[in-house]
Amino acid sequence: MWTDSIMREPDGSWALDLPAEEVPAELPEPCLGINFARDGMARKEWLALVAVHSDAWIMSVAFYYGAKLNFEQRKSLFNQMNSSSTLFEVVTGKREAVGLKRGRQNMSVKRKMVTDGDISTNLKGCRAELYWPDDGNWYSVVINAVNVKKRMATIQYDTGEIEELDLTEVIHDEQMYLLE
């Protein structure tokens, strides 16, 4: 008998697969018993049970990492988690999937390329998307502070990581959109 784990793919889809060979010892242990009642349950009920166990593990990992964050970072992390649908909500149809990768043209959020005229303290608190050419991905960020004279911004990724950005470079290379 094997144990399956539900895993989120980079494109936002979910897959049922064998667990990773080694889970880092410091992480909470995932629930390895999702096969226990599969034979005696309807497929939809079993998937809902798998989703509940998966959501519980995701929450335990978030609490593990959240313990290392300060109050504002924890608040941001859990607000982001609560704004997304749980796997259980999606599987049972109680809520539409939120936060899955979609085509940019289908996004309901208005996006505006950052320009020289935008550099002001008004950017503080704005949500934005930042492009990293190294991996070709867009990342969701919050602008925490702006130094107008130096044309620098302190941004925070959804992961909690904080970074200083040279706005002149970002604007020149068209690597940031403000989300409205």
- Residue 53's pLDDT band, with cuts at 50, 70 and 90, is confident
- pLDDT of res. 100: 47
Closest C-alpha among 98, 109, 120 to residue 178: 109
How big is the CA angle at 172 (ends 170 and 178), to the nearest 5 degrees?
50
92-101 pLDDT, tens digit each: 888 765 544 4
Of 92, 126, 145, the one marking the end of a domain is: 92
Choosing from 92, 122, 155, the residue where a domain stops is 92
Q: Is the pLDDT of residue 141 over 60?
A: yes
Q: Are 36 and 83 found together in one domain?
A: yes
50: closest CA among 61, 39, 34? 34
Say if 98 falls within a structural domain: no
For 4-36, how does the pLDDT look when each residue is reduced to its tens digit (9 = 90+)? 666 666 666 666 666 666 566 677 766 665 555
**Is residue 117 domain-shared with residue 40, that is, in the same domain?**
no
Work out the pLDDT band at 112, boundaries 50, 70, 90: confident
Asked if the structure places residue 97 within a domain, the reply is no
Give domain status of residue 51, yes or no: yes
Q: Give CA–CA dist 145/128, Å, rounded.
A: 13
Let me know whether 40 and 71 are in one domain.
Answer: yes
**Do residues 40 and 62 share a domain?**
yes
* Domain count across the chain: 2
End-of-domain residue from the set 92, 121, 136: 92
Q: Provide the domain limits for residue 13.
A: 5-92
Q: What is the domain-level CATH number for residue 140?
A: 2.30.30.140
pLDDT of residue 109: 64
pLDDT average, residue stretch 59-81: 87
Q: Is residue 99 part of a domain?
A: no
pTM assigned to the model:
0.44
